[in-house]
Amino acid sequence: MPERSEQDELGAKVIEVIARTQRIPADSISLNSTFEELKIDSLDGINIVFELEKAFNIEIPDEGAQNLRSVSETVEGVRKLLGLKRQQQTAPSGAA
């Protein structure tokens, strides 16, 4: 079996978090789903963002949290924040 890419795994994990917080089956969610299709409103969004922060150990800024409209945007946002976190962890400390 081909090994799943990091990107696929990230998508699957985000979908799993959305499914769990929204109490809907994961197989009803795809990367192409919009929040509107999934009946996810802004308050649900806050809940999802809260769980994503825990699942990925990241901090999602309020502005980003309020502008999520689809699963793909959410995955992309998480990917960027994980990248930033990795950069910060590998950056030499005390460089200034």
Partner 1 sequence: MNRVAVTGLGLVCALGNTVADCWRRAIAGECRILQLRDPGCPPYKFQRGAEAWEFAPLEYFTEKDMVMLERFALLAAKAAREAVAQSGLSFNGELADRTAIITGSSVGGQFTEEEGYLRLYRENNPRVAPLTIPRTMSNAGASRISLEFGITGPAYTVSTACSSANHALGQAFWMVRSGQMTAAIAGGSEAVFAEGLLRAWEAMRVVSTDVCRPFSSDRRGLSLGEAGAMLVLENWDQARSRSADILGEVLGFGMSSDAHHITQPCVEGPAKAMEWALRDAHIPANKIDYINAHGTGTQANDVTETQAIRRVFGVHADTLLVSSTKSMHGHTLGAAGGVEAVLTLLALKDGIVPPTANFTAVDPACNLDVVPNEARGAPVRCALSNTFAFGGLNASLLLGRA
The residues that touch partner 1, with contacts defined as CB under 8 A, are 41-43, 46, 49-50, 62-63, 65-66
Residue 11 or 45 with smaller CB distance to partner 1: 45
CB 65, min distance to partner 1, A: 6
53's CB contacts (< 8 A; 6+ apart) are: 59, 60
C-alpha angle 58/93/64, rounded to 5°?
25
β-pair partners for 34: 70
Q: Give me 62's structure tokens.
A: 């309020």
CB 71, min distance to partner 1, A: 20
CB 86, min distance to partner 1, A: 23
